[in-house]
């Protein structure tokens, strides 16, 4: 499947620093897909950047307000982020916000005749000073790198859901 077939946006629409969106069709029920993505501890299996996720503060399921920590790796850089679930609508949407940066990551499921479409969305409302700092640390190619990671993540979720 080509990148153009995988993505919701035309391939010539580059991602921006503040938002991006990628979709993939999955031959599985919305319920099955939601069960996979809502267990955030699986993200280390799918994301090329996240290596591990653990629940925080006694949380163990994706309820609004539940918090978790994600460990990430990019080249020699390693860091963790604390996140909070802000939307948990079974078979429809799972969204969380990354603490310091205020980036909202959403997984939106739309039912189709053959299963569903899963859309991963990144929306950034980062304070300007933090955005500048992360831009310097991560480099100018970061939006495209995030998009490529989103495509990989969705392909891996698709493979798991269709097994």
Instruction: Output the pLDDT for position 126.
Output: 57
Assess contact for 147 and 23: CB atoms under 8 A. no
The rounded Cα 84 to chain-centroid distance in angstroms is 13
Distance CA(20)–CA(40), nearest Å, equals 21
Mean pLDDT of all residues in 10-22: 64
Instruction: Output the pLDDT for position 56.
Output: 98
52, pLDDT greater than 60: yes
Average pLDDT, the chain: 85
Q: Which domains does the chain have, with CATH numbers?
A: 3-162 (3.30.530.20)
Smallest CA-to-CA distance from 33 within 118, 103, 96 is with: 118
Model confidence pLDDT, tens digit, residues 102-143? 889 999 999 999 999 999 999 987 554 454 555 555 555 667
Sheet arrangement for strand 50-56: 19-26, 115-124, 103-112, 93-98, 77-89, 67-74, 50-56
Mean pLDDT of all residues in 96-105: 88
Confidence (pTM): 0.82
31, pLDDT greater than 90: yes
């Amino acid at each position: 499947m080509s990148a153009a077939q995988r993505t919701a946006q035309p391939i010539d629409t580059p991602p921006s620093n503040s938002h991006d969106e990628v979709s993939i069709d999955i031959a599985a029920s919305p319920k099955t897909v939601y069960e996979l993505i809502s267990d955030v501890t699986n993200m280390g299996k799918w994301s090329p950047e996240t290596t591990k996720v653990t629940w925080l503060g006694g949380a163990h399921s994706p309820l609004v307000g539940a918090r978790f920590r994600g460990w990430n790796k990019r080249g020699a850089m390693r860091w963790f982020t604390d996140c909070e679930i802000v939307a948990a609508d079974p078979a429809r949407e799972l969204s969380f916000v990354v603490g310091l940066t205020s980036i909202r990551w959403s997984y939106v499921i739309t039912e189709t005749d053959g299963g569903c479409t899963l859309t991963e969305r990144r929306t950034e409302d980062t304070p300007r000073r933090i955005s500048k700092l992360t831009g310097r640390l991560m480099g100018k190619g970061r939006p495209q790198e995030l998009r490529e990671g989103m495509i990989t993540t969705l392909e891996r979720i698709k493979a798991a859901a269709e097994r």
